[in-house]
Every structure is written in C-alpha cells, then in structure tokens.
C-alpha cells in the first residue's frame, strides 16, 4: 500500500524508537542520494521510493519490515573494534571515481578535518590555514578541535551527523589511542557500502547496450 513520506517517517520512528542503533527517520523526508538509485538507506537496508499519482511515496510493507529489522537488531555496545580511520587526503590526491563511492570511514575523517580547518579560519588564523589543523591531537581529533566542539558543530547540519540513515557520532568513542565503534555497527556500515555500490552500479547500467556510465551523484 502506498503511503506518504510523512506517514512513512512517523511509522518508522515509532517502530524504531527503542532500536539500539541511533537512526534519523527524517531521511525518509529528505531522501538523500535518491536520484542515484531510487532508495533511501538505513544501514544496509534499502527502502525503495515510488512515484504514485505524481507524488513520491513508500510501500508501507517496506517501512514496517525495515522498522522491525532495526527494532530486533542486537548490538553489544561493549563489543567494540578499532575503526581504523584513513589519513587526510588533499583534493588533488583524490581519484574522482573513488571519491564518489560510499566510504563511511573516509566520511567520518572528512567531518573531523573540515571542522578543524573551519575552526582555525573562524579564529582569523588564515596564515595557518594549511598547516597545524592537520595534526592529530591527543584526543584523536585534528588541530585544536575538542570533542565537545565537534559534536556541537555537527549538530547544526544533518549531513554532518548521518551516514546511511544512522548517527555514528552517538556511538563513536576515543580509547586514548584509537577510535572505537560497536562491532555490529561497523559490520552494518560495511554492508551498506557494498549494498550502495550494488544499487548504483545497477542504476548506471544501460538497458540497451549493457554498458555502465560514469559514477555520479553526491
């Protein structure tokens, strides 16, 4: 049964209110990257969006199935693993094809470094804009960024909180040496990367010639 985005959001929020993984039901309203493959992701679960009477809708069965999956999910918050975040890379060093592919570890790193650089510029220290803000401090964050400042800045924008419809910063912790996340959550995001790539590859496939077009989207 087709349902509106608003009802889908309300239903999913109700079903997942006690889910162990922090979720953002508003993804069903904003539908990030929808044009890439026609789905909205929560972890590795892809919820398809449909056009019904000129309106974007969801199938209620899909919403209920996704909600039940997260409500029943078991995540041991004490069973954590090193997420092994990659090093910072300048724009000229990036492969455009690689950069558009889903990579949640790289996304976390980009949030951290972007905020560290912005903080330095806000302080009027433009002369050092390409210097010390890259250095990792004892708290695991670059530059002079503190965890409290990082969380406060991230809370101002949805795209700085969400990966695959989940909120990793609510689960991320610093051990004093490495960044840690629950093992089950890391596995979930790794599966999301593969599933997202599969759907995008399918969407890129030319129905007439069988060839794939370039990787596109944001």
* Residue 20 shares a structural domain with residue 70: yes
> DSSP of 131-156, one letter per residue?
TGGGSB-TTS-BTT--HHHHHHHHTT
Lowest mean pLDDT among 40-49, 107-116, 122-131, 165-174: 122-131
- Alpha carbon of residue 71 to chain centroid: 20
Q: Residue 183, by phi and psi: left (phi above 0), alpha (psi -120 to 50) or beta? A: alpha
* Residue 54 shares a structural domain with residue 147: no
Task: Reply yes or no on whether the pLDDT at 123 is more than 70.
Answer: yes
* Residue 116 shares a structural domain with residue 49: no
Domain final residue pick, 45, 76, 107: 76
Give the sheet arrangement for strand 2-4, strand by strand.
2-4, 55-59, 45-52, 39-42
* Distance between CA atoms of residues 200 and 212, nearest Å: 10
* Residue 156 shares a structural domain with residue 72: no
Looking at residue 130, its pLDDT comes to 56
Q: Residue 164, by phi and psi: left (phi above 0), alpha (psi -120 to 50) or beta? A: left
DSSP 88: P
* Residue 69 shares a structural domain with residue 85: no
Domain final residue pick, 76, 94, 128: 76
Q: pLDDT tens digits for 5-47?
A: 999 999 999 999 999 999 999 999 999 888 889 999 999 999 9
Looking at residue 97, its pLDDT comes to 58
* Residue 10 shares a structural domain with residue 94: no
* 118 inside domain: yes
* 56 inside domain: yes
* Residue 55 shares a structural domain with residue 88: no
Looking at residue 34, its pLDDT comes to 85
* 152 inside domain: yes
* Residue 152 shares a structural domain with residue 126: yes
- 151 touches 139 (CB < 8 A): no
Cβ count within 10 A of residue 117: 19
* Residue 31 shares a structural domain with residue 84: no
> Residue 177 belongs to what domain range?
80-190
Q: Which residue has the tokens 């912790």?
A: 173
Looking at residue 135, its pLDDT comes to 87
* Residue 86 shares a structural domain with residue 68: no
Looking at residue 73, its pLDDT comes to 96
* Residue 111 shares a structural domain with residue 68: no
Looking at residue 22, its pLDDT comes to 97
Average pLDDT over residues 72-84: 96
Q: Which residue has the tokens 């965890």?
A: 147
Q: What is the mean pLDDT of the chain?
A: 87
Number of domains in the chain: 2
* 201 inside domain: no
pTM of the model: 0.86
* 214 inside domain: no
Domain final residue pick, 44, 76, 108: 76
Both tokens assigned to 27? 């993804």
* 182 inside domain: yes
* Residue 185 shares a structural domain with residue 112: yes
* 211 inside domain: no
Query: Of 92, 79, 96, which is closest to residue 171 (Cα–Cα)?
Result: 79
Q: pLDDT tens digits for 157-195?
A: 878 899 999 999 999 999 999 999 999 999 999 999 999
Task: Reply yes or no on whether the pLDDT at 85 is more than 70.
Answer: yes
* 204 inside domain: no
7-16 — which CB contacts under 8 Å span 24+ positions?
Answer: 8/57, 8/58, 8/60, 8/63, 11/60, 11/63, 11/64, 11/67, 12/42, 12/63, 12/66, 12/67, 14/67, 15/63, 15/64, 15/67, 15/68, 15/70, 15/71, 16/67, 16/70, 16/71
């Amino acid at each position: 049964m087709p349902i509106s985005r608003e009802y889908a959001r309300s239903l999913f929020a109700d079903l997942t209110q006690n889910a162990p993984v922090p979720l953002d039901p508003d993804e069903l309203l904003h539908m990030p990257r929808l044009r890439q493959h026609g789905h909205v992701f929560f972890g590795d679960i892809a919820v398809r969006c449909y056009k019904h009477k000129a309106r974007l809708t969801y199938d209620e069965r899909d919403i209920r199935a996704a909600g039940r999956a997260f409500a029943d999910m078991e995540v041991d918050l004490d069973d954590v693993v090193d997420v092994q975040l990659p090093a910072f890379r300048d724009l000229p060093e990036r492969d455009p094809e690689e950069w558009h592919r889903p990579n949640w570890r790289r996304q976390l790193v980009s949030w951290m470094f972007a905020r560290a650089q912005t903080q330095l510029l806000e302080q009027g220290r433009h002369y050092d804009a390409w210097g010390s803000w890259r250095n990792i401090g004892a708290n695991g964050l670059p530059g002079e960024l503190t965890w409290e400042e990082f969380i406060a800045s991230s809370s101002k924008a949805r795209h700085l909180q969400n990966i695959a419809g989940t909120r990793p910063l609510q689960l991320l912790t610093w051990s004093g040496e490495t960044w840690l996340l629950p093992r089950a959550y890391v596995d979930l995001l790794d599966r999301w990367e593969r599933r997202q790539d599969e759907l995008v590859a399918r969407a890129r496939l030319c129905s007439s010639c069988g060839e794939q077009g370039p990787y596109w989207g944001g």
